[in-house]
Chains A and B, each alone.
Chain A
Amino acid sequence: MTMHSNCETCPAHTEMARLGAAVGGFDRVVALAGNPNTGKSTLFNALTGLRQHTGNWPGKTVTRAEGGFQFGGVKYKLVDLPGTYSLLSASQDEEVARNFLLFGKPDCTVVVVDASALERNLYLVLQVLEITDRVVVAVNLMDEARRRGIEVDTRSLARDLGVPVVPIVARTSENVMALLSETAGVASGETATSPLRSKGTPEFERAVSRLVPLIESSAPGLPNARWIAIRLLDGDAAVEEALASGKLGELVARQQAPDLRFSRKIALQGAQ
C-alpha cells in the first residue's frame, strides 16, 4: 500500500508509520466518531494500514475496531467506532460508540463529517463537544462535495466550533497528514480548544453545577459528570438506575460496557 503522491512531497510524510493491529505500548488513544457512512472505516484503514471492511451503507461497522499508527514519534491507538446520529440513541451499535466516547477517555476524538451533508452531521459534533473539548473535525468526502458544487469553508467552521477543522478525502488520503498534525496537537494538549457549548438558562447551569461535584464524588474518575448531570435533570430513568447500581463506575473502569442497557427511553426522552 502506498501513500497518495502529494503526500510524498509533504514534510510530514516521513514521520508517519502504520502500525496495523499492533497496538501494544501506545502513548495516546484517538477515537473516530461520526454519522453512519461518512468514511470512518476508510480513514481508519488509511491510517493503520489495516483492511477493516468498508462498504457504502450506513450501519456497516457494528463493533469497535482498533489499530495503531505512529506520527511524529508518538504511538497512537486508533479506535474506529460505529456510526451514530446522536449520543442519545439506543441501538447496540450506537451504544458501543457512545459508551466509548463517554467513558473511554480518548485523548482526542476525530469526528468525521460528510461535506455534502454538513448540517445533519453537525448535531453529533455539537453533542461530542458537550462531553469533551479534545475534538478535531474532519470534513470528509470533499471530492464528492466539490463535484456537486458544494464548497465548505473550514476556517469559518473552525472559528464557530472552537476546534480544529480539516478538509480531507479519506479514500485518496488527501490532506490526511494535516489532519494528523492537528490531532497530535489536540491529543497532546498543545492545541488549546474552546468548544462551542450551548448554554442553558442560568438556573439550569446552576442546577448542573450543583450536581456535578456530587456525581464526581459518588463515581470517582467519571470523565463527564456534566453529561450525567444533564441526563439526571431530564429525569432519565436509565441513567438514574445506572448510577444507583454502580454501573457508571464500572463503565469507567472497563471503558466499554456491552452489558449496560440504556433503555429506549433515553432516545425518546433525550433532547436531540
Chain B
Amino acid sequence: MSDPAAISPADIVREAANLRRSLEAGFREEVVASLYTEVERITRRAVRGTVGQTLELDQRIDRIVTSRAFGLPLMLGMLAVVFWLTIVGANVPSQMLAQALFWVEDLAAGVFDAWGSPWWLTGFLWHGVFRGLAWVVSVMLPPMAIFFPLFTILEDLGYLPRVAFNLDFLFKKAGAHGKQALTMAMGFGCNAAGVIATRVIDSPRERLVAILTNNFVPCNGRFPTLIMLATVFVAAAFPPAIASLVAAGSVVAIVLLGVAFTLVVSWALSRTILKGEASAFTLELPPYRRPGVMRILYTSLIDRTLFVLWRAMWTAAPAGAVIWLLGNIVVGGESLATRISAALNPLGWAMGLDGVILLAYIIAIPANEIVVPTMLMVYMAQGMMTDLQSFDQLRTLLVDQHGWTMLTAVNLMLFSLLHNPCATTVITIYKETLSVKWATIGALMPLTIAFAVTFFTAAVARLFLGF
C-alpha cells in the first residue's frame, strides 16, 4: 500500500468475515431468489405471445439433425459433399492458374535473360521466389475459395453448435469438454484460431486437452496437401467416373482419422498428465438463421481465403528462395538439397516417405501451407523436370522419377495429418498457456505420434503387402 495509514487488505477481509458472521445464514439465497422472481415478473409484463409456432420447424429439423440415428451420418454426408464440391470445383482452376503463372515465370525469366541479367538473379527471383508463390497460389487458392464459403454457410446457418451437440457424448467418454467439438471445428480453418477458441472452455484441464489435441484436425494449410494427394494418387487408381468420389471419400476418411486421434489422445491425456472427469456444460442451440450472402462472401473470401493466402505467400517466397539456394549451391559436385535429402533418406524410408519430403517438412515449419510446393520444388531443383503443367505430369514426376507408391501417398497424408503444428500455432499455444512446457508438449507430442504411426504403417505395408 502506498499509504501506510490506509487499511490493509487483510483488515478488510477480516472485517468482511466478521460482518458475514453477524448476518443470518442464507442471506444471499434470499437475494438470489428475489432476483429470479424479479426477472420473471418483468418478463411477464413485457412479453406477449409464446415461443411456439415457428420454433416448431427448427425443433423438427433439430430432432433429425441431432438424433442418435441420423445425427452422425448426416454430419458425415455433409462433410463428404463439402469436400467433393471442393475437389471437383478446384481441379480445373488450379491447373489453369498453374499454367498461367508458370507461363509468366518463363516469360519474365526470358525478359531478364534478354536484358542480360546474371543467371543467378533470374534464377533466384523467378525460379526461386516467384515459383514458390506461384505454387502456393495455384495449389491453395481454388480449394480455399470453395471450401471456406461452404464452411461459412454452415457456420452462419447455426450448424456448428449441433455438431458439438452430436459429438458431445464422444468427448465426454474421452474425459474432454463437449465444447471441444466447437474448437475442433475452428481448427479446420486454422489450428492457431482453434487454440484461441478454447477460451470458451472454462475448466483449465479440459482447455489444455483441447489445446494439445487441436492439431489433429487438418487446417486449411494442410487440406490442399490432402486433397492433392487424394486426387493425384488415391483416386487415380480408380476409374475416372468415380475418381472424384473416391478422392472426397479419402479426405473424409483422413478427417475422421484426425477426429479419432483427437478423441484417443484426449482420452489418454485425461488419464495421465491431465487427470480428471469431463465437466457438465450448457450449450445453446441457436435458431437456424438464413446466412447473408455478402457476409458469407466477405468472411470466407477476405477474412479467411485472402488472409491465409497472404500468410502462405509471405512464407512461400522466402521458402522458394531457400530451396533455390539449396538446389544451386553446389558442394563437392552435388547440390545442398541433394546432400541434405540424401542424409534424411534412411529416416524417410523407414517412415515410408523419403528424404526430400522430410526436407520439405523442415523448410515448411513456419507454415504447413507450403509443404507440397516445397517438396515439388526440391524434386525439380534436382534437375529432373523444370516445369509442370498438369496434375498428370505431377503424377509422372513423382511416381516414375521419384519412386512414389501408394504407401508414400498414404503415409504422407498420415504424416501431414499428425505431425507438429506450424510455428504460429506453437507460439499461440505458448501465448494462451504462458508455459514453455505445454508449448513444447503441444509441438513434440503430435510429432512423436506422427513418427510412430508412419513407422508402423510402413513396416506393416512392407511386411504384409509387399511394398
State the A residues within 8 Å of B (CB).
36-37, 51, 53-59, 62-63, 82, 89-94, 96, 116-119, 122-123, 126, 144, 147-154, 156-157, 160-161, 171, 196, 198, 200-201, 203-204, 207, 210-211, 214-215, 217-218, 229, 232-235, 240, 243-244, 246, 264, 267, 271-272
Contact = CB atoms under 8 A, between A and B. Distances in A.
A149 B197 CA distance: 35
A157 to B, nearest CB: 4
Contacts of B39: 119, 122-123, 126
B43 A150 contact: no
Contacts of B329: none
Contact of B287 (A96, A144, A214): A144
Contact of B13 (A152, A204, A244, A264): A244
Nearest to B1: A218
Contact of B20 (A36, A119, A161, A233): A233
A218 B8 contact: yes
B19 interface: yes
Contacts of B288: 56
Contacts of B8: 218
B122 interface: no
A232 B23 contact: no
A53 B299 CA distance: 7
Contacts of A36: 284
A124 to B, nearest CB: 10
B182 A126 contact: no
A199 to B, nearest CB: 8
A161 B38 CA distance: 10
Nearest to A42: B295
A234 B38 contact: no
A204 B34 CA distance: 14
Interface stretch (B24-32, B244-252, B256-264, B360-368): B24-32
A217 B55 contact: no
Contacts of A89: 202
Interface of B: 1, 6-13, 15-17, 19-20, 22-24, 27-32, 34-35, 38-43, 45-55, 152, 155-158, 160-161, 179, 182, 196-197, 199-203, 207, 283-284, 286-289, 291-292, 295, 298-299, 302-303
B23 A211 contact: no
A59 B179 contact: yes
B54 A149 contact: yes
Given A200-B27, A203-B24, A218-B9, A229 B16 contact: yes
Contact of B201 (A91, A119, A198, A271): A91
A63 B200 CA distance: 11
Contact of A232 (B12, B31, B152): B12
B433 to A, nearest CB: 11
Contacts of B286: 37, 56-58
A101 to B, nearest CB: 17
A22 to B, nearest CB: 19
Contacts of B24: 201, 203
A198 B160 contact: no
A158 B286 CA distance: 26
Nearest to B53: A149
A93 B201 CA distance: 9
9 contacts: A36-B284, A56-B157, A149-B52, A152-B46, A210-B19, A215-B12, A234-B28, A246-B9, A272-B32
Given A59-B182, A218-B1, A233 B48 contact: no
Contacts of A93: 199-200
Nearest to B28: A271
B333 to A, nearest CB: 54
Contacts of A57: 155, 158, 160-161, 182, 286
A157 B31 CA distance: 21
B199 to A, nearest CB: 4
A150 B28 contact: no
Given A37-B286, A91-B200, A93-B200, A235 B54 contact: no
B191 to A, nearest CB: 15
Contacts of A204: 23, 27, 31
B304 to A, nearest CB: 9
B438 to A, nearest CB: 15
Given A63-B196, A207-B19, A58 B284 contact: yes
A243 B9 contact: yes
A149 B50 contact: yes
Given A51-B299, A201-B23, 6 more contacts: A53-B299, A55-B156, A56-B286, A122-B43, A218-B8, A233-B19
A200 B31 contact: yes
A122 B129 CA distance: 57
Contacts of A151: 47-49
Most buried by B among A149, A151, A215: A149
A232 B12 CA distance: 9
A252 to B, nearest CB: 14
Nearest to B156: A56
Contacts of B179: 59
B54 A271 contact: no
A267 B202 contact: yes
B280 to A, nearest CB: 12
Contacts of B27: 200-201, 203-204
A263 B200 CA distance: 15
Contacts of B207: 92
A260 B101 CA distance: 51
B7 A214 contact: yes
Given A59-B200, A267-B202, A150 B48 contact: yes
Nearest to B13: A240
Nearest to A258: B434
Contacts of A153: 45-48
A103 to B, nearest CB: 17
Contacts of A157: 42, 46
B36 to A, nearest CB: 8
B7 A217 contact: yes
Interchain residue pairs A-B with the least CB separation, the first 6: A91-B202, A59-B200, A232-B16, A92-B199, A56-B158, A207-B19
B296 to A, nearest CB: 10
Contact of B45 (A55, A56, A156): A156
A232 B199 CA distance: 27
B16 A196 contact: no
A62 B299 contact: no
Nearest to B295: A54
A219 B47 CA distance: 42
B55 A148 contact: yes
Nearest to A196: B38
A118 B22 contact: no
